Amino acid sequence: MLFWVLAVASVGFGVTVFVVDSMARATFALLASFLCVGLTFLLIDLAYLGVLTILMMVMEMMIMAVFMIMFMMNPAGLMPMTMVHNNRGSALIAGAVFAALAAGALLTPWPERRGAPPADPTHALGLAIMGPQMLVMIVLGVAILATMIAAVVLATHRGRYDA
């Protein structure tokens, strides 16, 4: 039941992005949609993807909101504005794409499921994406993080050696 509530809420917030008349409201509607998607991932035991989606989208949308406040001519993007261009054309294209995707999903002869789901879906996903190079990628990720931190420290105005 919770899956369907989150699915409907995700689509509803996604539609809201194009219905509201301000950038700030659209940003927060998009954030709510992605939060519902992340919670859906958590619900189906894909904890890594769920937490990653939630954390990444929260940070991305907050940064976008800060930049809207800083750089938009209307304060905080709250002034009414048109969020969609070429309403009729975009509605026709969206309807055609939806019909094609729905027809594809309904008319495709999907294969029968074989076997049971893995005990640890996150581990299975990691192996499917990275294969045997998982350890190498983890080490590279730590090395890249250390490089970014070192670059920021060395690029500060006072340098590495501050009084």
pLDDT in tens, 35-84: 999 999 999 888 888 898 999 888 888 888 777 777 776 665 566 766 56
Give the residue ranges of DSSP H helices in the chain.
2-19, 23-43, 47-71, 87-107, 121-130, 134-155
**Interatomic CA distance for residues 96 and 87, integer angstroms:** 14
Does residue 7 fall inside a structural domain?
yes
pTM of structure = 0.55
Question: Does a structural domain hold residue 101?
Answer: no
Shared domain check, 60 and 9: yes
Task: Clarify whether residues 1 and 55 are in a common domain.
Answer: yes
Residue 154 is part of which domain span?
119-163
More confidently predicted of 77 and 24: 24
22 CB neighbour count, 10 Å cutoff: 18
How many domains is the chain built from?
A: 2
**106 falls within a domain:** no
Distance CA 125, CA 136 (A): 16
pLDDT tens across 75-99, in order? 655 667 665 678 899 889 999 999 9
Does residue 15 lie in a domain region? yes
Token digits of residue 95: 């309807």
Question: What's the rounded Cα separation, in Å, for the pair 47 and 49?
Answer: 6
**Looking at residue 75, what is its pLDDT?**
61
Higher pLDDT, 24 or 15: 15
In this structure, the answer to whether residues 9 and 65 fall within a common structural domain is yes
Tokens of 113: 């499921």
Q: Which two tokens stand for residue 130?
A: 């990275």
8, 73: one domain:
yes
Domain boundary among 62, 81, 100: 81
Judgement on whether residues 11 and 62 belong to the same structural domain of the protein: yes
